[in-house]
Amino acid sequence: MTAADIGGLLRECTRRLAEGGNEDPRFEAEQLVMHVCGVTRSDMVMYPGLPVTAEQQAEVGRCVTRRLSGEPLQYILGEWEFYGLPFKVGRGVLIPRQDTETLAELAVKFAREHLHEGFTAVDLCAGSGCIGITLAKLAKVPVKLVELSEQAISYLERNITLNGVEALCEAVRGDVLSAETAKALPMFDLIVTNPPYLTAQDMRELQTEVRFEPETALAGGEDGLDYYRRMIPLWSARLKPGGMLAAEIGMGQQDDVMRIFEECGMAARYEKDMCGVIRVIYGIKQ
């Protein structure tokens, strides 16, 4: 990059992204310039003549190169918003998706409506912690966040601090498929999970950006349902009567996952995401 001011840098960055085939070059250039130069969008509009340093030019250039190699914008920025809250992200942790706000919203609503002394919740396969931390922050309930990956758990811990919910959230390192993990935890009023659910076929056809994300957070076995088959029997037994188990699913998995809930003695219901796709299956323990 050679532009000497913010306005020029933004134009140059937009052009390089567009030439490289980026689909939303203006938006992404703004994000990168704001990130590197520490300016707001209104600064860029109102003060395009703000000078930039050689180091900032070079850094924006490095960011563009990374982006054009297919690395997700979110990893380059190092932070992404979920449900209006900030989450640190990077290699080794799944980027929070807007689809997942459906599950977070359902969980917050359930916790608010069923709040009582001793209410407790758990987020299984917590990753960045976006579901559990949002739940703790908005409904003010204690949440345990279970995650196996050491890399993901380091982001999870930073996100607990970043959102100021240290008093409510506890990161627990553990395998959600193991009975030992389940038995070591108390009974819960609310269990939420966004497990890996992509099929073997999906995994072969991943978009370039998604290939940068951890396979362990995505791959759900041949038909994508491995985690539901193993987790729902194990964890529905850890629900208090009247408690709710809610799981995000992939498009079209509702019939299979609802059947698994019903085999575990829970009448299953669903919730659609903002695109109208059935995105969450949930059941209440009798």
Establish if 218 lies at the interface with ligand GLN (CB under 6 A): yes
Please say which residue, 218 or 234, places its beta carbon nearer to ligand GLN.
218
Please say which residue, 197 or 228, places its beta carbon nearer to ligand GLN.
197
Quickly count helices (H) and strands (E) in the chain: 13, 9
Six-digit token string for 50: 């703000």
Give me the least distance between CB of 198 and ligand GLN, in Å please: 5
Establish if 281 lies at the interface with ligand GLN (CB under 6 A): no
CA 170 to the chain's CA centroid:
17
Please say which residue, 25 or 195, places its beta carbon nearer to ligand GLN.
195
CA-based torsion, 11, 16, 21, 27: positive or negative: negative
Tokens 């890399």 sit at which residue? Answer: 151
Give me the least distance between CB of 56 and ligand GLN, in Å please: 33
| C-alpha to C-alpha distance for 16 and 32, rounded to whole angstroms | 12
| C-alpha to C-alpha distance for 107 and 191, rounded to whole angstroms | 9
140-199: which residues touch ligand GLN (CB under 6 A)? Answer: 194-198
23-82: which residues touch ligand GLN (CB under 6 A)? Answer: none
Please say which residue, 230 or 240, places its beta carbon nearer to ligand GLN.
230
**DSSP assigned state of 242:** E
Give me the least distance between CB of 211 and ligand GLN, in Å please: 11
Give me the least distance between CB of 279 and ligand GLN, in Å please: 9
Count, residues near ligand GLN per rule CB under 6 A? 9
Give me the least distance between CB of 25 and ligand GLN, in Å please: 23
72-101: which residues touch ligand GLN (CB under 6 A)? Answer: 97, 99
* CA-closest candidate to residue 257, choices 270, 244, 276, 243: 270
Please say which residue, 25 or 96, places its beta carbon nearer to ligand GLN.
96
The DSSP line for 45-114 is HH-TT-B--HHHHHHHHHHHHHHHTT--HHHHHSEEEETTEEEE--TTSPPP-GGGHHHHHHHHHHHHHT
Please say which residue, 10 or 93, places its beta carbon nearer to ligand GLN.
93
Give residues in contact with ligand GLN (CB under 6 A): 97, 99, 194-198, 210, 218
